Homo-oligomer: A and B are copies of this chain.
Amino acid sequence: MKNTFGNAVTLTLFGESHGSAIGAVIDGISPGIKIDEKSISEKLARRKPCGVGGTKRREDDIPEFLSGVFNGYTTGTPLTLMIKNNDTRSSDYEAMRSVARPSHADLTAFYKYGGFEDYRGGGHFSGRVTAALVAACAILSHALKTKGIMIGTHICSCHGATDRTFEDYEKDIRALAGKRFPVLGDGKDIEEQIRKAALAGDSVGGVLETAVINMPEGVGEPWFDTLEGMLAHAVFSVPAVKGIEFGAGFDIANMLGSEANDQIRMENGRPVTVTNNSGGINGGISNGMPIVFRTAIKPTASIYKKQDTVDFMKNENTSLLIQGRHDPAIIQRAGAVIDAVTALVIADLLTVRFGTDYLGEK
């Protein structure tokens, strides 16, 4: 469904970096979900450039509700929020309009839209658009939390530097909620890598690790709408994601079956797995253990180095030094976006499973 995702709860994302606004529509949302403005602004804050590097563009990111909210609760009708674009200087872009920035979407946008695309600042492809995604999904996230379902993401590695993995899931997720730089340890090595890249006019990527706890079991489908498939589908919308792995992930390729299999035992009257190499999912369906996945985030494509490229309107070789300020890394911001799409998928699948009232107070 193009720029819409979901079966029972659908989210449509709209807007261009230098258009008048970005926004999102959520349809199929339960009536009676409390709009918790604090949780929305916290999540938006986590998506913003933090101390470590970061763009100077001032994004106020105050979402305005156009529909679907009444007296502080969702109504159950389509919820639309809009974030106005204020700080945009479009004149910068005209000159370089047809010089493709390497590993950006300039060229593919031209292929697809034939020149009608809004090319200013990445247009519809801009990471800016994720502010609307984060704001909208914060509402779902809050509803999930009232059911005990919590989602958290930390940077687990960046250009060789690493963070510890989850230990006490609930405690770790609560700790991450308040952090602008989402790490479980002190994160100094990771910050150092970002600073070094910034100094070199270069950029770095990293790996994010996400956990979802207290997921009801029995959710997901055996084929196609598997829990992994739905999560992966949504996660690859987050700009810069190049890979996703669940549980033991790619490491499982080097294990024996006897090592990889998650043996099972009874604990507090319910079956639990001894290990969680499956990442909380078997046969596409949740087994009640934490859902754990990692995503690979590429280095920011905009760097302060001259790169070879083409002018796709003149069809000739050229080179490019991208102007303006840009982040030396976006991993510290991407976590909030991964959390957002994860909340969307979980909310969608729960609504499919338990009906349209499930997530609200109705």
Contacts and interface: CB of A to CB of B under 8 A. Distances in A.
Interface in A69-122: 69-71, 73-80, 82, 100, 102-105, 107-109, 111-118
Given A21-B80, A102-B264, A229-B236, 17 more contacts: A1-B225, A15-B78, A31-B113, A73-B116, A76-B116, A77-B118, A111-B288, A112-B219, A206-B253, A232-B236, A237-B284, A242-B249, A250-B296, A257-B302, A258-B303, A260-B299, A266-B316
B104 A283 contact: yes
Given A3-B222, A70-B118, A245-B250, A263 B309 contact: yes
A146 interface: no
A228 interface: yes
Contacts of A226: 236-237
Contacts of A125: 222, 283
Interface stretch (A42-50, A59-67, A180-188): A59-67
A224 B31 contact: no
A242 B236 contact: no
Which size class do A's interface residues fall under? 35 or more
Contacts of A357: 114
B296 A68 contact: no
5 contacts: A77-B118, A159-B253, A232-B232, A250-B296, A266-B316
A255 interface: yes
A143 to B, nearest CB: 13
A162 B91 CA distance: 51
Nearest to A358: B355
A233 interface: yes
Contacts of A205: 252-253, 255, 257, 260
Contact of A232 (B23, B68, B107, B233): B233
Contacts of A67: 14-16, 19-23, 124
A129 interface: yes
Interface string A314-332: 0111000000000000000
One complex includes copies of this chain to the number of 4
A356 B352 contact: yes
Contact of A244 (B157, B232, B234, B288): B232
A225 B3 contact: yes
B117 A64 contact: no
Nearest to A351: B355
A160 B160 CA distance: 22
Interface in A214-261: 217-226, 228-230, 232-237, 239, 241-250, 252-258, 260-261
A229 B237 contact: yes
A152 interface: no
A108 B248 CA distance: 19
A8 B219 CA distance: 14
A207 interface: yes
Interface string A1-22: 1111101101011111001111
Contacts of A73: 116
B100 A301 contact: no
